Amino acid sequence: MRQQFARHCAECGDLLDGDFGKGLGRKYMLEAVGLSVAETDVYRALVVAVTASAGEVSTTTGLDTRTAERLLLALEEKGLARGVEGVSGRFAANPPDVALLPRLERRADELGKARSAVSELMETYRRNAWIRDAGEVVEFITGAGALRQRLQQVQDSAREELLWFCRAQYVAMPSGTNQAEFDALARGVGYRVLYEQAFFDDAGGMENIVRAVRAGETARAVPALPLRMAIADRCLAICPLAPAGPAGDPREVTAVVVRGSSLLEALVALFERYWEIGAPLRVTPEGRIGAHVLESDADSLTADDQRLLSLMVAGLTDESIAGQMGVSRRTVQRRIQHLMTIAGVATRMQLGWQAARRNWV
């Protein structure tokens, strides 16, 4: 009987080199319907042979007889095999369409539901993860009062350094009202502040800079700044988004708070880039923006000359310089021409370069 069973398998092309387990049966696994590899081999052997005993299945699959018998009983329990009536120990395969297709349909339905559940979970994860991550990086503040309060808080909590971009016209904190800066300076917190040229034309702007520099602020000036910004200890930045000054409704003032992220690193790098090209703002003993006269230049430059240079390098117009120094615009132009002659240059840009190189400002 075993020989007939083996020959029958070979005639069907499913027995390769006498080892059913290494033949075509391995190519059609039925794990999707809950069958193990061994159960798949045994079931396929039954399908090929129509009926078989545990011993015959053992011969064709390479399994030991006891294992083959256990697997046949497992298939019977799962409805894929049945005992042959009147013949003890012999089994027949139930038709695959009856035994397997309903299982496949149930599994397909379960898999469809599982796929829908996974898609829903992924959507929920993405949505919640984005909201959580975005909230950890970016926060929006609305209203001038809320912005003032947050600026006060970050200065009060700062431990090392504040970096500032000060543009002309305030949006929440008028110039000269930032008492938190002086409190922080007194605690030893460093302030590096960049002012744009137009800031000097604001009412009281120059006086407020002098007061801050005298208190310990390190200040520089550039022709223009791209945005308003305050960075505390390089771990948090506040950027008001209002393009202009206080002309609009203060309730509509919006600012963004940026925490540790590549965006914050970019803002710090932006500050440092502008800081490199900024012109230092120093305060003379008389309380003016200018510089002390160096002994080596005492014969060629006066204190007014150095003050004029500092204002010019800071980007002030001739009219603004004249107003700061209490002289006419023509006097400013004449003195600048005199300084160009001393420096041996032909343009104001060259004069600014030489003034910085010779430490005149």
Tens-place pLDDT, residues 4-50: 444 444 444 443 334 444 444 444 567 767 788 888 889 989 889 88
- Tens of pLDDT, residue by residue over 189-214, are 999 999 988 888 887 788 888 999 99
What is the DSSP secondary structure assignment for residue 73, as one 8-state letter? H
Q: What is the mean pLDDT of residues 336-360?
A: 78
pTM listed for this prediction: 0.50
* Percent share of the chain, pLDDT over 70: 81
Helix (H, G, I), strand (E, B) or coil at 168: coil
What is the DSSP secondary structure assignment for residue 268, as one 8-state letter? H
Q: Within 10 A of 141 (CB to CB), how many other CB atoms are there?
A: 21
Residues 135 and 125: their CA atoms lie apart, in Å, by: 15
68's tokens: 């083959």
E strands, 11-58, where? 51-53
Q: Are 352 and 312 in contact (CB under 8 A)?
A: yes
Residues 162 and 192: their CA atoms lie apart, in Å, by: 6
Among 59-68, 323-332, 335-344, which is the least confidently predicted range?
335-344
What angle in degrees, to the nearest 10, is found between the helix axes of 318-325 and 329-343?
100
- Tens of pLDDT, residue by residue over 122-139, are 777 666 655 555 556 788
In this predicted structure, what is the pLDDT of residue 194? 93
Residues 202 and 208: their CA atoms lie apart, in Å, by: 10
Residues 84 and 90: their CA atoms lie apart, in Å, by: 6
Sign of CA dihedral 17, 21, 23, 25: positive
Report the phi/psi class of residue 359: left, alpha or beta, with left for phi > 0 and alpha for psi in -120 to 50: left
Residues 127 and 139: their CA atoms lie apart, in Å, by: 17
Say if residue 340's pLDDT is above 80.
Answer: yes
238's tokens: 């506040």
- Tens of pLDDT, residue by residue over 160-175, are 999 999 988 877 788 7
What are residue 229's DSSP bridge partners?
Answer: 165
Q: Are 221 and 278 in contact (CB under 8 A)?
A: yes
129's tokens: 């993860």
In this predicted structure, what is the pLDDT of residue 250? 58
In this predicted structure, what is the pLDDT of residue 37? 87
Query: Among 193, 234, 21, 185, which residue's Cα sits nearest to residue 29?
Result: 21
Q: Within 10 A of 282 (CB to CB), how many other CB atoms are there?
A: 18
